[in-house]
Structure 1
Amino acid sequence: MEIRIATDEDCRSLATLKRVVWETTYRGIYPDEKLDRYDIDLNENKFKDMIKQKSQKLFVVLNDSEIIGYMSCGKIMRAFDNHTHDIGLLYLAKEYQGKGIGLDLFQFAKMELKNQGVTEFIVSCNKYNLPAQHFYKKMGGKIIKIEEDNEDKSIPQVKFQFMV
């Protein structure tokens, strides 16, 4: 397993992986229309834009040169209270979950944030993604906010706070 900074050349694979992860994780949570209308080209461009951002770093995790997951961390992209940094994304292909790779990615992000002088950070997780919530609790996260239910279950988030 290798973790490295993402490049523009990775963005098509990242967009494709995101679609697969959304299907296996969020089908039944996100509205079907949202998943069915997923646009790989649009998301490829979003990843390219993310790479250009200097405030967040996007990393890929590879297994035998295949991208199996990705993670972003740095200055918070969506303001929340007085928090300044977060792990904005942490996605891993279903077949690689439960093997310690998510833990490795999380610890990598935590060290990256620590190297930036960060002492605490947050993670936002979909309120209905219970396996992810369990993971973040296991990583030592403290729930600091649970958003109200919404008819669109892709919207409500649970906010976890972590100390570095």
Structure 2
Amino acid sequence: MNDVAPLQTEVPPLAGWWRRCFAWWYELLLLIPVILLVQVVYQLAFQLLTGAAVTAVSANAGLRALNFAVLVAAVFGYFMLCWRRGGQTLAMKTWRLRLDGAGGSRASWPALIVRFLASALCYLPCAPLWVLAWHDRAWLPWAWLSSAWLTAPFVWAWLDREGLLLQDRIAGTRIVSVSKRTRSA
């Protein structure tokens, strides 16, 4: 007869709304160097392969679209690697947060992909629309609308019965608080 009791797995508490919000802003700041590095590599590769000037990318709509797709793929890769390795990006480590699947388990690949896509629907339109508005004032109302849409996941969290962000509700994931002891283990 085995006298050892089964281990009790405790589900960490959901991180607070403000903590998730500040971590999100910090994540944006940390994404800037990632995006800039990818942009430099893209521009260098383009120049080496074609011999064209740097301005050739901005002069061609197809090359701009390809550039945008490369940047989105890089951001996708960054989040997938971080979330799958330990459930934390650098910003999440700083704010002692972790992305978990349902019941405190590691989030599955499909859940991570769904979470990224749901997030992208809210966050991705903002930057291109502001760039368009910078060049053409007719896009300004759309840029402001995208900024309002940017807040949708956080407004959803206020209304959600469990306080989950919109992308977490859709993907079946949670952002939880991690104690200092758990984080270092």
Task: Tell me if both proteins adopt one fold, taking TM over 0.5 as the criterion.
Answer: no
Structure with larger RCO (C-alpha < 8 A, sep 6+) = 2
Q: Which is richer in strand?
A: 1
Larger Rg: 2
The structure with more helix, counted as a fraction of residues:
2
For normalisation by structure 1, the TM-score amounts to 0.31
TM-score with structure 2 setting the length:
0.28
